[in-house]
């Protein structure tokens, strides 16, 4: 729940209103010109309907240089950003060969495995030589190598579940698994801020979907009680099964899911639980085992544990961990297992090696150091930002910290000013967040040194003053909440 | 006593008559004297108004009490999360102990591999390995972010430009997984109300994309142009608003489920006649069909602009991973902010993008790979044309040689069991790895299952003959026994 000040809400609405009006005027003119030189295909409806890409044409293109900045090195603590310029008011951006070395506060490189690693990279290259870059086959046909089985075993052991299955892409993991587990007559209760892959998976499943207020266990209970009592809509038959889907760390809020309360409620009402640890696995917990370890939850209480390897492990792909029977069933019928190319062998090796480093099985204490480092870095950075008066979302220990910007003009301003001072920051706006709640998001990595962080804080503070996003007084005052509109 | 009551009643009645008469006794309206009527009617009116003002009758609402809800919650028993595991669910796939090239090692034994769609033999190719290694050293393994948030690496842009240049399209867009390409791209262009005509044999990725798009889906018979024409005619005639809707024909170039090749020239003719757009999945045809491997459009000599949207997975001929979508600049740009699998997912690993660039380079430099592949397909096709109990269902030029049962047992499950038995025995007795179709319970494809062999340019003639020999022997042993 984010409280937005009245004045800010008003100016934000005003800005979007202005952008909308100007966009419409420009659309009107472009329509006239198009009509003039009508070269449209006769008899075809336009491939993108008018309002569908209005947002892209008239809003996004103006600030497109703040997104998708190409880089020319590994996404480590510092990376090289390729400079771009535009000759047509940002409609197209042209790459130059000039590079700028910037501090990276944007990549999900939580444990610093993104760059070449002394332990992982040689092994990944070795397995590339042995197994090549791809198997060109799905897991059930000819795409299972020894490496794939090893990977599943070590993931299951790391996560703390009897078995696991891996896929070549995190997004597909969610969107192909949910349709297998849930179907017509089933109910999915999903957190309101769940990731798009979960939303798409749930939609693809054909089950009924209900949403509960973000991270609010009392509302979850309310929804569960109401749904069990009412049964399926119209027929009023009891639900076949109910699944509650939550995330470990919410990537756009930096919040840690209130797992113990939610699990207790699910247990009480016999609902199955699905935990998406895309951002939390490897990044939090004493030995990097995710939110369950951090919050002291027994993994046996979670029915389906999902996570990705793109973040902490610096690789690609995703996994599902669960009971032996569950995994066996998924291997029998999950379309992503049956039809999709299996995960690339070097990527699989990278994950296995990263897990070994995290667990200290490589014979060094680098893993433990990395974990201690990310926790220290995150908490240091968060408290410093809060002290400066930024509106920072999220919980302690979480390496993701969004800073609220609100006004659309502040998105490019903040991003460009930071870049000028060699700090690369991610700004997030619609469609990844609600229209009003544009934000900048910082992802802290274990590979950041203290000096890096101090430099980043200096820059952010300066730019924050310039752009005017220190919504709180420098010493945070808890009584600030009065006179604020409540917004989801 | 009774008389007293009677008296009282009489006197009340008398009084009432006087009282009612009193105000209107002499009232005359339009020459009609109205005694007490007016009063009675006014009273009636009042009663009617009173009744009208009351709420209509409803059975009393009795919401469930907390206690009742508690009981309901307690009584509710969910079904198990997954059905109980049966024996057929426990099959284990073969485990490879080396790269999935034309020859691979399973259980310590060298086998000939017909299960990898390594059409051009790029698995283990020296140049690809070098470029992947260089990329791994420079960029690490993962990209650690979606394309919008510093997950765009220069090799991604280079790869997109290379693919577009190779196919002759203005631009292309990379996806990080082959399967997600279609089920992200389709919902970008089709929304509720739009009409999609689709071949009934398309693979699950397309089916899921169509389901997610919520558009109106009409299937036509597998690779049957008459059926397509009929469907188009019917849809256009039926739907008066059809001109206002976006309409698509979705086909695969080489069908993964049957090895058939789409009849693109006819499809283009029909598309232009009925004004539909074409979405073509070239996953199994890029690098295979056409004289230089540019896919189905080159195969039929159709200009690539005629096909509106082309998608392909790179996990086949190009021997990396991921997928791409290509078409006009508008088609590509629209996906960059609207395609969920592109916006919300980490980008393709940079080394896989480098691998894809090199693969295209190598392909362009060595067009003889394609003629070698075509030769191999012909050898295998001819060698397998007279297998007992199995009939080739695939096209003569398809890199997937697909054999279905001549006589289906009538049930999908037992068909699959027989085919799996053949594949298992070929692997065990003759060290030849082939694929017996597997179907997910979610897959709506109703085409017959069969045995697939993925031909590679790297297969030697003896490999191909060995496969033919082995399949013939095992098929006659297994299917002969069935009879």
Regarding the domain delimited by B88-117+367-482, which CATH topology (the fold level of the hierarchy) does it fall under?
Answer: 3.90.1150
CB contact under 8 A, A82 and B438: no
By Cβ distance, the residue of A56, A60, A339 closest to B204 is A339
By Cβ distance, the residue of A121, A133, A426 closest to B137 is A121
The CA distance from A279 to the nearest CA of chain B, in Å, is: 11
The candidate with the shortest Cα–Cα distance to A391, out of A453, A442, A432, is A442
- CB atoms inside a 10 Å sphere around CB B211: 20
Q: Which residues 242-261 of B have a C-beta within 8 angstroms of A?
A: 243-247, 256
- For range A55-60, the mean pLDDT: 82
Q: Give the residue from A359, A386, A401 where a domain finishes.
A: A359
Structure-token match 């399926």, residue found: A232
- Regarding whether A374 and A464 lie in a shared domain, the answer is yes
Nearest residue in chain A measured CA to CA from B139:
A74
- Residue A39: is it exposed, middle or buried by C-beta count within 10 angstroms (0-12/13-18/19+)? exposed
The CA distance from A363 to the nearest CA of chain B, in Å, is: 22
- CB atoms inside a 10 Å sphere around CB B263: 18
pLDDT at A480 over 50: no
Concatenating the DSSP letter of every residue in B284-351 gives TTTTTSSTTS--HHHHHT--GGGSSEEEEESSSTT-S--EEEEESHHHHHHHHHH-HHHHSSBPPPHH
Nearest residue in chain B measured CA to CA from A344:
B321
Half-sphere exposure of residue A224: CA atoms within 13 angstroms, side-chain side: 30
- A303: chain B residues, CB-CB within 8 Å: 81
- Regarding whether A84 and A188 lie in a shared domain, the answer is no
Nearest residue in chain B measured CA to CA from A142:
B115
CB contact under 8 A, B115 and A347: no
The reply to whether domains B88-117+367-482 and B126-365 share a CATH topology is no
- A305: chain B residues, CB-CB within 8 Å: none
What pLDDT, on a 0 to 100 scale, did the predictor assign at position A153?
93
pLDDT at A476 over 50: no
- The rounded percent of chain A whose pLDDT value lies above 90 is 53
Q: Domain for residue A179, yes or no? A: yes
Interval B208-244: pLDDT, tens: 999 988 899 999 999 999 999 999 998 888 876 666 7
CB contact under 8 A, B435 and A142: yes
Residue A87: partners with Cβ closer than 8 Å, 6 or more residues away: A94
Structure tokens, B427 = 């692997």
Q: Domain for residue A55, yes or no? A: yes
Q: Choosing among B142, B276, B286, B353, which should be mutated to test the A contact, i.e. which has the most A CBs within 10 A? A: B142
Q: Which residues 312-331 of A have a C-beta within 8 angstroms of B?
A: 313-316, 325-326, 328-329, 331
The candidate with the shortest Cα–Cα distance to A408, out of A55, A87, A25, is A55
- Regarding whether A341 and A421 lie in a shared domain, the answer is no
- Regarding whether A308 and A216 lie in a shared domain, the answer is yes
CB contact under 8 A, A121 and B319: no
Q: Give the residue from A301, A332, A359 where a domain finishes.
A: A359
Q: Domain for residue A174, yes or no? A: yes
Nearest residue in chain B measured CA to CA from A440:
B149
By Cβ distance, the residue of B104, B313, B337 closest to A56 is B337
- Regarding whether A167 and A136 lie in a shared domain, the answer is yes
A146-159 vs A345-359: helix crossing angle, rounded to 10? 30
The candidate with the shortest Cα–Cα distance to B118, out of B293, B287, B308, is B287
CATH code for position A290 = 3.40.640.10
- Regarding whether A314 and A235 lie in a shared domain, the answer is yes
What pLDDT, on a 0 to 100 scale, did the predictor assign at position B27?
64
The CA distance from A10 to the nearest CA of chain B, in Å, is: 27
- Regarding whether A181 and A60 lie in a shared domain, the answer is no
Show the domain range for A246. Answer: 120-359
Q: Distance between CA B126 and CA B405 in Å, rounded? A: 39
Interval A190-210: pLDDT, tens: 999 899 899 989 998 989 999
What pLDDT, on a 0 to 100 scale, did the predictor assign at position A440?
92
- Regarding whether A401 and A334 lie in a shared domain, the answer is no
- B116: chain A residues, CB-CB within 8 Å: 135-137, 141-143
The candidate with the shortest Cα–Cα distance to A387, out of A479, A477, A254, A476, is A476
DSSP annotation of A341 = B
Nearest residue in chain A measured CA to CA from B203:
A339
- Regarding whether A275 and A143 lie in a shared domain, the answer is yes
Query: In angstroms, what CA-CA distances link A222 with A2, A202, A239, A255, A269?
Result: 22, 21, 16, 22, 11
Nearest residue in chain A measured CA to CA from B72:
A229
CB contact under 8 A, A45 and B243: yes
Q: Is B147 on the interface with A (CB under 8 A)?
A: yes
Q: Distance between CA B227 and CA B225 in Å, rounded? A: 5
What pLDDT, on a 0 to 100 scale, did the predictor assign at position A482?
41
Interval A272-282: pLDDT, tens: 999 999 899 98
Structural domain spans, chain B: 88-117+367-482, 126-365
pLDDT at A484 over 60: no
Q: Choosing among B117, B141, B309, which should be mutated to test the A contact, i.e. which has the most A CBs within 10 A? A: B141
What pLDDT, on a 0 to 100 scale, did the predictor assign at position B278?
92
Nearest residue in chain B measured CA to CA from A196:
B344
Beta bridge partners of A304: A274
Domain count, chain A: 2
Q: Which residues 184-203 of A have a C-beta within 8 angstroms of B?
A: 195-197, 200, 203
Kindly report whether the global pTM for this prediction surpasses the value 0.90. Answer: no
CB contact under 8 A, B94 and A109: no
By Cβ distance, the residue of B244, B348, B349 closest to A45 is B244
DSSP annotation of A444 = -
Residue B10: partners with Cβ closer than 8 Å, 6 or more residues away: none
pLDDT at A40 over 70: no
CB contact under 8 A, A132 and B123: yes
Beta bridge partners of A485: A4
CB A125 within 8 A of CB A328: no
Q: Give the residue from A296, A327, A359 where a domain finishes.
A: A359
- Regarding whether A177 and A131 lie in a shared domain, the answer is yes
Q: Domain for residue A323, yes or no? A: yes
pLDDT tens sequence for chain B (483 residues): 677 888 888 888 787 777 666 655 566 667 766 666 777 888 999 999 998 888 777 777 778 888 888 888 888 888 998 888 888 788 888 999 999 889 999 999 999 999 999 999 999 899 999 999 999 999 999 888 898 889 999 999 999 999 999 999 999 999 999 888 988 899 888 888 889 999 999 999 999 999 988 899 999 999 999 999 999 998 888 876 666 788 899 999 999 999 999 999 999 999 888 888 999 999 999 999 999 999 999 999 999 999 999 999 998 999 999 999 999 888 888 888 888 889 888 999 999 999 999 999 999 999 899 999 999 999 999 998 888 888 999 999 999 999 998 888 888 888 888 999 999 999 999 999 999 988 888 888 888 899 999 999 999 999 999 999 999 999 888 887 654
Nearest residue in chain B measured CA to CA from A41:
B275
The candidate with the shortest Cα–Cα distance to A233, out of A186, A201, A192, A182, is A186
Beta bridge partners of A305: A275, A321
Q: Is A12 on the interface with B (CB under 8 A)?
A: no
CB contact under 8 A, B152 and A69: yes
- Predicted ipTM of the assembly: 0.90
The candidate with the shortest Cα–Cα distance to B228, out of B183, B274, B260, is B274
Q: Which contacts qualify for B289-295: CB closer than 8 Å, 24 or more apart? A: B289/B253, B289/B254, B289/B261, B289/B397, B290/B370, B291/B367, B291/B370, B292/B363, B292/B364, B292/B367, B292/B370, B293/B120, B293/B317, B293/B363, B293/B367, B293/B369, B293/B370, B294/B166, B294/B167, B294/B168, B295/B167, B295/B253
Does B126-365 carry CATH code 3.40.30.10?
A: no
By Cβ distance, the residue of B85, B88, B345 closest to A169 is B345
Q: Domain for residue A474, yes or no? A: no
Angle at B457 between CA B305 and CA B352, to 5 degrees: 65
Q: Is A472 on the interface with B (CB under 8 A)?
A: no
Q: Which residues 264-283 of B have a C-beta within 8 angstroms of A?
A: 275, 277
Cross-sheet strand order for the sheet of A438-443: A400-406, A438-443, A426-428
Q: Domain for residue A245, yes or no? A: yes
Beta bridge partners of B326: B172, B310
Q: Domain for residue A115, yes or no? A: no
- A114: chain B residues, CB-CB within 8 Å: 140, 142, 144
- Regarding whether A184 and A145 lie in a shared domain, the answer is yes
What pLDDT, on a 0 to 100 scale, did the predictor assign at position A478?
45
CB contact under 8 A, B147 and A172: no
Q: Is B402 on the interface with A (CB under 8 A)?
A: no
The candidate with the shortest Cα–Cα distance to A432, out of A21, A60, A18, A4, is A60
CB A176 within 8 A of CB B316: no
- Regarding whether A131 and A94 lie in a shared domain, the answer is no
Structure-token match 């990209």, residue found: B143
- A189: chain B residues, CB-CB within 8 Å: none
Q: Is B384 on the interface with A (CB under 8 A)?
A: no
The candidate with the shortest Cα–Cα distance to A411, out of A425, A391, A431, is A425
Q: Distance between CA B116 and CA A104 in Å, rounded? A: 39
- Residue B158: is it exposed, middle or buried by C-beta count within 10 angstroms (0-12/13-18/19+)? middle
CB contact under 8 A, B78 and A272: yes
Beta bridge partners of A138: A341
Q: Distance between CA B332 and CA A176 in Å, rounded? A: 24
Structure-token match 């804080």, residue found: A457
Q: Distance between CA A221 and CA A242 in Å, rounded? A: 13
Nearest residue in chain B measured CA to CA from A340:
B179
- CB atoms inside a 10 Å sphere around CB A85: 11
What pLDDT, on a 0 to 100 scale, did the predictor assign at position B460?
92
CB B103 within 8 A of CB B96: no
Q: Distance between CA A295 and CA B218 in Å, rounded? A: 50
Nearest residue in chain B measured CA to CA from A273:
B81
The candidate with the shortest Cα–Cα distance to B246, out of B277, B270, B273, is B277
Size of interface A-B (CB pairs under 8 A): 375
What pLDDT, on a 0 to 100 scale, did the predictor assign at position B483?
47
Q: Is B232 on the interface with A (CB under 8 A)?
A: no
Beta bridge partners of A191: A212
- For range A399-406, the mean pLDDT: 91
Nearest residue in chain B measured CA to CA from A309:
B142
- For range A223-231, the mean pLDDT: 90
SS3 A273: strand
By Cβ distance, the residue of B180, B212, B313 closest to A171 is B180
CATH code for position A448 = 3.90.1150.10
- For range A290-310, the mean pLDDT: 92
């Amino acid at each position: 729940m984010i409280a937005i000040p009245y004045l800010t809400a008003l100016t934000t609405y005003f800005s979007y209103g202005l952008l909308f009006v100007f966009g419409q005027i420009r659309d009107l003119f472009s329509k006239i010109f198009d009509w003039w030189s009508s070269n449209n295909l006769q008899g075809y409806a336009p491939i993108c309907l008018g309002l569908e890409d209005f947002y892209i044409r008239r809003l996004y293109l103006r600030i497109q240089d703040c997104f998708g900045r190409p880089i020319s090195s590994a996404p480590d603590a510092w990376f090289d950003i390729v400079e771009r310029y535009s000759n047509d008011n940002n409609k197209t951006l042209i790459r130059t060969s000039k590079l700028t070395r910037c501090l990276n506060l944007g990549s999900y490189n939580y444990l610093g495995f993104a760059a070449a690693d002394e332990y992982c990279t040689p092994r990944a290259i070795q397995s590339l030589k042995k197994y090549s870059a791809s198997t060109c086959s799905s897991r059930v046909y000819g795409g299972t190598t020894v490496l794939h089985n090893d990977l599943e075993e070590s993931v299951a052991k790391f996560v703390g579940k009897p078995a696991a299955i891996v896929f070549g892409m995190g997004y597909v993991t969610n969107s192909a698994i949910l349709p297998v587990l849930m179907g017509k007559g089933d109910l999915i209760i999903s957190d309101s801020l769940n990731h798009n892959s979960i939303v798409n998976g749930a939609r693809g499943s054909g089950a009924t979907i209900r949403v509960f207020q973000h991270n609010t266990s009392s509302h979850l209970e309310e929804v569960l009680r109401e749904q069990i009592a009412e049964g399926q809509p119209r027929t009023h038959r009891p639900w076949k099964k109910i699944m509650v889907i939550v995330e470990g760390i919410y990537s756009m809020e930096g919040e840690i899911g209130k797992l113990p309360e939610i699990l207790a409620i699910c247990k009480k009402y016999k609902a199955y639980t699905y935990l998406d640890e895309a951002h939390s696995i490897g990044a939090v917990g004493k030995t990097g085992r995710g939110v369950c370890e951090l919050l002291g939850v027994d993994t046996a209480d979670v029915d389906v544990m999902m996570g990705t390897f793109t973040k902490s492990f610096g690789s690609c792909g995703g996994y599902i961990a669960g009971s032996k029977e569950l995994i066996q069933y998924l291997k029998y019928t999950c379309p992503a297992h049956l039809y999709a190319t299996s995960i690339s062998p070097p990527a699989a090796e990278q994950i296995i090696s990263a897990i070994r480093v995290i667990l200290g099985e490589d014979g060094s204490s680098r893993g433990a150091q990395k974990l201690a480092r990310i926790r220290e870095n995150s908490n240091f950075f968060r408290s410093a930002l809060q002290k400066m008066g930024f509106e920072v979302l999220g919980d302690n220990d979480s390496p993701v910290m969004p800073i609220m910007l609100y006004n659309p003009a502040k998105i490019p301003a903040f991003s460009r000013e930071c870049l000028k001072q060699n700090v690369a920051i991610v700004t997030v706006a619609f469609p990844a967040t609600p229209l009003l709640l544009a934000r900048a998001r910082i992802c802290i990595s274990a590979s950041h040194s203290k000096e890096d962080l101090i430099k980043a804080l200096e820059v952010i503070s300066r730019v924050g003053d310039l752009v005017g996003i220190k919504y709180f007084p420098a010493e945070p005052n808890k009584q600030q909440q009065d006179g604020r509109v409540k917004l989801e | 006593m009774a008389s007293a009551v009677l008296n009282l009643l009489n006197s009340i009645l008398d009084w009432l008559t006087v009282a009612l008469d009193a105000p209107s006794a002499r009232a005359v309206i339009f020459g009609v004297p109205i005694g007490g009527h007016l009063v009675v009617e006014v009273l009636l009116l009042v009663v009617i108004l009173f009744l009208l003002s009351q709420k209509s009758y409803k059975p009393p609402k009795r919401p469930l009490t907390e206690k009742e809800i508690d009981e309901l919650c307690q009584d509710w028993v969910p079904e198990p999360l997954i059905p109980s595991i049966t024996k057929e669910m426990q099959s284990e796939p073969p485990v490879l102990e080396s790269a999935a090239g034309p020859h691979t090692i399973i259980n310590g034994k060298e086998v000939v591999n017909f299960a990898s769609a390594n059409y051009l033999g790029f698995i283990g190719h020296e140049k690809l390995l070098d470029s992947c290694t260089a990329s791994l050293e420079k960029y690490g393994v993962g990209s650690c972010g979606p394309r919008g948030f510093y997950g765009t690496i220069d090799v991604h842009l280079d790869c997109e430009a290379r693919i577009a240049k190779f196919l002759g399209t203005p631009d292309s867009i990379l996806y990080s997984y082959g399967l997600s390409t279609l089920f992200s791209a389709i919902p970008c262009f089709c929304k509720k109300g739009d009409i999609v005509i689709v071949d009934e044999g398309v693979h699950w990725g397309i089916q899921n994309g169509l389901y997610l798009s919520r558009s109106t889906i009409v299937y036509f018979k597998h690779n049957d142009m008459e059926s397509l024409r009929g469907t188009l005619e019917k849809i256009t005639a039926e739907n008066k608003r059809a001109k206002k809707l976006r309409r698509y024909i979705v086909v695969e170039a080489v069908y993964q489920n049957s090895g058939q090749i789409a009849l693109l020239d006819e499809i283009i003719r029909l598309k232009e006649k009925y004004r539909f757009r074409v979405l073509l999945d070239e996953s199994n045809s890029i690098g295979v069909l056409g004289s230089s491997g540019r896919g189905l459009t080159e195969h039929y000599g159709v200009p690539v602009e005629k096909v509106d949207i082309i998608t392909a997975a790179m996990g086949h001929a190009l021997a990396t991973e991921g997928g791409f979508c290509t078409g006009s600049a508008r088609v590509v740009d629209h996906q960059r902010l609207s395609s969920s699998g592109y916006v919300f997912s980490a980008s393709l690993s940079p080394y896989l993008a480098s691998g894809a660039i090199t693969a295209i380079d190598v392909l362009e430099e060595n067009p003889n790979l394609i003629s070698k592949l075509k030769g191999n397909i012909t050898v295998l096709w001819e060698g397998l044309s007279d297998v007992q109990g199995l009939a080739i269902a695939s096209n003569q030029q398809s890199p997937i040689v697909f054999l279905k049962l001549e006589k289906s047992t009538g049930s999908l499950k037992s068909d699959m069991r027989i085919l799996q038995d053949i594949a298992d025995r070929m692997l065990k007795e003759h060290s030849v790895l082939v694929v017996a179709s597997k179907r997910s319970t979610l897959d709506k494809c109703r085409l017959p299952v069969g045995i697939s062999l993925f031909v590679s340019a790297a297969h030697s003639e003896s490999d191909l003959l060995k496969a033919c020999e082995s399949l013939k022997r095992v098929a006659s042993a297994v299917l002969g026994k069935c009879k």
